[in-house]
């Protein structure tokens, strides 16, 4: 088993983890980053690389993959050690540091033991997998999709998007100019997406089919047709379709970290105003962290990562202050 020794271990290579890696280097710390995925960027890169992000300071809008690329370039200034396709499994906290062991995502590959002075957990929602469309059968990969990493792949398709949250609405709007037709099927009349997105949806050419559910998916080698059922009247209609995009949510899992002894609430890690968990030398930031008044935005996560790293600094070097000073003063 390989061993790595650094000042800070960051668990999660999504946007918040990447920014944390950069900021740790800015404060003079060596850093390693663990992630179970084969590429950096977390859920944003894996599921929404072509989605525009609107809440990052300095960008009126920024494509998800472009944001990840910029964050990686920024993080590389700190020369982090990336330990990809590794899942954090055990933690051992001692007086002057923390030891975390991992297991590989690919069986047969070696795990890693990481010795650090502190840990920042920035694992987003933890590991994730899409909720399956009950009527989807075995059509996954044959016209049934759970995410759309390349919008252009659906150019000219007749598409049914299933769901009522941000992902469903965003994909329906993004596919509108590319697909032959887009219908958004939701079991309720109201949508849970951002108000501005819903307003755009109502002004678009996307057909809103509510309150309906997809009860059957038909086809041979690929999807050809779906049956939709009205939630209240049980009336059914049939619709020819080439692609079904099921955006009905994800199942998330903290995995072995759930057994580390951290205080949890609704699968989130409770932290204080410094982003500390109840475990010594273990901090959390981003979607995985929870405190009173939490606002789950990427921009907030960046601030949480900086807060955590600044409070980790004195644990790494007792001569370092929590307050970093002005970045413009750094040489």
**Binding-site residue set for FAD:** 35, 43, 48, 88, 128, 287, 328
| Three-state DSSP state, 55 | coil
What's the angle, vertex CA 25, arms to CA 33 and CA 311, rounded to 5? 90
Contact 31, 80 (CB under 8 A): yes
155 alpha-carbon distance from chain centroid: 26
CA distance 305 to 307: 5
Token pair 């009247």 is at which residue? 233
End-to-end CA distance of the chain, in Å?
Answer: 38
CA distance 169 to 200: 9
Q: What DSSP string runs through 241-279?
A: -SEEEE---EEEE-GGGGGS---EETTEEE--TT-B-SS
Residues with Cβ < 8 Å from 6, sequence gap 6 or more? 29, 30, 31, 32, 81, 114, 115, 116
Binding residues: 35, 43, 48, 88, 128, 287, 328
Contact 68, 44 (CB under 8 A): yes
Residues with Cβ < 8 Å from 107, sequence gap 6 or more? none
CA distance 188 to 95: 54
């Amino acid at each position: 088993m390989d061993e790595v020794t650094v000042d800070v271990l960051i668990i999660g290579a999504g946007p918040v983890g990447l920014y944390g890696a950069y900021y740790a280097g800015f404060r003079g710390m060596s850093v390693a980053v663990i992630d179970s995925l084969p590429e950096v960027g977390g859920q944003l890169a894996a599921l929404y690389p072509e989605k525009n992000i609107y809440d990052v300071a300095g960008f009126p809008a920024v494509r998800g993959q472009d944001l990840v690329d910029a964050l990686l370039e920024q993080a590389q200034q700190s020369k982090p050690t990336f330990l990809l396709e590794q899942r954090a499994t055990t933690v051992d906290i001692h007086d002057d540091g923390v030891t975390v062991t991992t297991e590989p995502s690919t069986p047969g590959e070696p795990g890693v033991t990481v010795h650090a002075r502190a840990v920042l957990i920035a694992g987003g929602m933890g590991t994730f997998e899409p909720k399956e469309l009950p009527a989807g059968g075995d059509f996954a990969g044959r016209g049934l999709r759970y995410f759309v990493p390349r919008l252009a792949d659906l150019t000219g398709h007749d598409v049914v998007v299933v769901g009522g949250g941000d992902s469903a609405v965003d994909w329906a709007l993004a596919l509108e100019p590319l697909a032959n037709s887009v219908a958004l099927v939701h079991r309720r009349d109201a949508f849970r997406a951002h108000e501005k997105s819903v307003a755009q949806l109502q002004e678009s050419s996307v057909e809103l089919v509510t309150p309906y559910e997809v009860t059957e998916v038909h086809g041979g080698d690929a999807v050809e047709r779906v049956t939709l059922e009205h939630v209240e009247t049980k009336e059914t209609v049939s619709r020819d379709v080439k692609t079904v995009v099921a955006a009905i949510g994800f199942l998330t899992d903290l995995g072995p970290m759930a057994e580390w002894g951290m205080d949890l609430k609704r699968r989130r890690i409770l932290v204080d105003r410094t982003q500390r968990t109840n475990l010594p030398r273990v901090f959390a930031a981003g979607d995985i962290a929870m405190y009173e008044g939490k606002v789950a935005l990427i921009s907030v996560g960046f601030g949480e990562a900086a807060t955590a790293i600044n409070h980790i600094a004195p644990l790494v070097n007792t001569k370092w202050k929590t307050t970093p000073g002005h970045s413009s003063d750094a040489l």
